[in-house]
Amino acid sequence: MYESYFDLPTPVEELWEQCSQQCYGYGDGDECKSMILAYDVPTPKGYYGGFGGELMIACLMFDQFLVADNFEVAPEGQWLKVKTGNLHCEH
């Protein structure tokens, strides 16, 4: 649904708070249902006009809840310090 990448050496908890806040504020308030924060995630092809593959910190947001079946083993040295969360907002 949405993704942002960072290359600053920012503590995990600070980035997790930023990622969570972005997800809470995305769309009409209940559009973003889950997010992943991870270090050393390869950027996609075309990210800022690049070839992709640069390892950065990623905040990825989804319009569905995450379950164990959504995940697979990452290549060694990628997808480190992974933190995930599902949002349950009440209006």
Residue 14 lies in a domain: yes
pTM recorded for the entire structure = 0.83
Q: Show the 3-state SS of the chain.
A: CEEEEECCCCCHHHHHHHHHHHHHHCCCCCCCCEEEEEEEEECCCCHHHCCCCCEEEEEEEECCCCCHHHCCCCCCCCCEEEEEEECCCCC
Structural domains counted in the chain? 1
Residue 44 lies in a domain: yes
| Confidence (pLDDT) at 90 | 59
Residue-number span of the structural domain to which 62 is assigned: 2-86
The model's pLDDT over 46-85, given as tens digits with 9 standing for 90+, comes to: 988 889 999 999 999 999 999 999 999 999 999 999 999 9
Residue 91 lies in a domain: no
